[in-house]
Chains A and B, each alone.
Chain A
Amino acid sequence: MCSSDLTDSSGTYPRLTPREHFTYFGGFYGLYGPELGARVQAVIDMLGMGDFADRRTQGFSRGQRQKVILGRALVHDPRNVIMDEPTSGLDVMAVRETRDVIRMLRDRGHCVLFTTHYMDEAAKLCDRVAIITRGRIAAVGSPTELMEKTGCDSLEDAFVALAGGAQGLLVSEYASADGDAQGNGGSGNGNAVRRAR
């Protein structure tokens, strides 16, 4: 399997430890025995989970749970990782840790595709950004390209302009500029799909 998905509704099994989570999910990707054990340990080390890898996830902080969710998506070492709003609803520390993981994955050569509503996050993490509004891709490019295209000095302003204003109306001139790029992000107005590569 060359990709892995991480959805915004992901939860954890409260009576299993992170190590058991990773072992369970790793088993679905043809990993078993010592190889699986080694991969699980590698993910634990990669995410800095050594202190709580063998504790049941019941009572974990949001950040710790997010690491479990990330870890089980990464246990089979996928080339591509798809995340649906990975930092949504997290506290400051958990957001930083999640962003660090995304950066680390990018630096290791993984292709990370994720959705977010936070423009500063997209600006910091992404090589390419796609603005989705009303289920259609309104624009695609690097953060710098999008800012240049709209004449804005922040990605947030560029996003608002590209999304068609505060109401999320599709502005035809920008849409036509990237008219060949369409998608079905589907989740209402003003989502941005970012790809870190």
Chain B
Amino acid sequence: MSRDVMNIWRKEITDTVRDRKGMTQAIVIPLVIGIFYASFTPMLMKAMTARREKPLTIPAQGIAYADARLLDVFGKYGITLEEYEGDLEAVIQDAKKESGLVFEPGFTEDVAKERPATARLLTNSTAGGIFGGGFSDTRLQLAVGAYNQMIVAERMAAREVDLSILVPVALNTEDLATPEQRGAFFASFYLTLLVAVTVAQGGLFVAIDVTAGEKERGTLESLLVTPASDMAVFLGKLGAVFTISVIPLILTLMAFWAVSNLMPPSLAAGNEGLPGFVLAGSLLTGIPLALVVSVAQMMISVRARTFRDAQSAATPLTFAVMIPGFVAAFSQAKALWACLIPVYGPFAALGRMAQAGGLQWDAVALSAVGSVIAAALVLPAAVKMFTRETLLYRS
């Protein structure tokens, strides 16, 4: 039987490798997605940093009334006030401007006389639309907070009061994340999605082609009248589907690793490269998952009469693989046993490894066991569906 399995496997691989459309879907597209993800993350980081550091210009009225030291502090925070002539409230209300700052006469005098001095920050929360971002007052609040601290310090000093009495609790934040964890931080999100997409899509085209595609071409009948057993035919085809599923997974992860580690520092924006353990963990969890998905894809495709029918039938399966991946990406499982859950487990294990900053063998082993058990349970049903009569004459 093993010779028949190898014969079928070899033929299906040759056939698939020669199929440009299939290979594009199986290899090139996941590869491009991997490179895109790996490149996109640091560029997004850089864009976010650039936005944070971008000078902020706010239209204002009554700048002359403002305390000069406040304007200095604003300057240090990259905030520039621009005197606005006209009805500032009206233009903000019309969403033509996102914000404006108004100083009333007597502002500086109030500060000097230790009276509460107020400035009005005008905003329109609908300006820019849902995705426009609106105006964020975070930087302005930070600048005003710094100015307030400075003024309070002066006043305390004038009264010869120790400034430390104003700070009963000092909260010092220390980030204990290791470089590996920082490197894997984004990977825990992106890689989970990436593995889900790659595994769900990688071998799908081949699974359909070797079953429903063969039926449609009229070649399956000739194959089934050979002495090769049903099991040999199924295993040979499954082997090819599994192989083609694993190849894009490996290529995609390697591309992801290479791009994230070899990226110029100017693009990386301080983001650490993807640690090798995440790559290894992704493979160790992704490969058994690919086996389960391959068996399921074969099961579904073999029931269809035509390639198109099989594509429609396999769509829910694609989602059934991707959705647990997305769930794990957005909400990582705390319990170790979750790694045992078929389909979801590998993604959970991947997330745990990224969080822990090291290869977690227990999570990897559990996810692999879960996948192998699932494959072993589904395999007999798939082989049964592959019996000749059912396969050829079922409508």
Contact = CB atoms under 8 A, between A and B. Distances in A.
B223 to A, nearest CB: 8
B228 A13 contact: no
Given A15-B19, A16-B14, A27 B218 contact: no
B364 to A, nearest CB: 37
B307 to A, nearest CB: 13
Given A10-B222, A11-B219, A72-B222, A32 B3 contact: yes
Contacts of A4: 225
Interface string B205-245: 00000000000011101100111100000000000000000
Interface string A1-22: 1001111011111111000100
B4 A7 contact: no
Given A29-B227, A32-B3, A13 B219 contact: yes
Interface residues of B, number: 17
A77 to B, nearest CB: 14
Nearest to A27: B7
Interface string A119-161: 0000000000000000000000000000000000000000000
Contacts of B309: none
Contacts of A69: 222
Contact of A27 (B4, B15, B19, B222): B4
Contacts of A28: 4, 7, 226-228
Contacts of A32: 3
A174 interface: no
A69 B219 CA distance: 9
Interface in A29-81: 29, 32, 56, 69, 72-73
A10 B215 CA distance: 10
A13 to B, nearest CB: 6
A10 B18 contact: no
B16 to A, nearest CB: 9
Contact of A13 (B4, B7, B15, B225): B15
B9 to A, nearest CB: 11
Q: Which of B11, B14, B18, B225 has the most CB of A within 10 A?
A: B225
Contact of B221 (A9, A16, A24, A25): A9
A20 B221 contact: no
A25 B8 CA distance: 9
Contacts of A7: 218, 221-222, 225
A72 B222 CA distance: 9
Interface string B270-300: 0000000000000000000000000000000
Nearest to B216: A11
Contacts of B19: 15
Interface string A64-104: 00000100110000000000000000000000000000000
A69 B218 CA distance: 11
Contacts of B219: 10-13
Nearest to B392: A9
Interface string B225-268: 11110000000000000000000000000000000000000000
Interface string B10-48: 010011001100000000000000000000000000000
B293 to A, nearest CB: 24
A99 to B, nearest CB: 21
Contacts of A29: 226-227
Contacts of B18: 15, 56
Contact of A25 (B14, B15, B217, B222): B222
Interface in B36-90: none
B218 A9 contact: yes
A32 B10 CA distance: 14
Contacts of B11: 13, 16, 20, 24
A32 B2 CA distance: 14
Interface in B304-337: none
Interface of B: 3-4, 7, 11, 14-15, 18-19, 217-219, 221-222, 225-228
16 contacts: A5-B222, A5-B225, A7-B218, A7-B222, A10-B221, A11-B218, A11-B219, A11-B222, A13-B11, A14-B217, A15-B14, A15-B15, A15-B19, A16-B15, A27-B3, A29-B226
Given A10-B222, A13-B219, A28-B7, 5 more contacts: A5-B222, A7-B225, A11-B218, A13-B217, A28-B227
What are the nearest 9 A-B pairs in CB distance? Answer: A11-B218, A28-B226, A27-B7, A11-B217, A15-B18, A9-B218, A5-B225, A11-B219, A24-B11
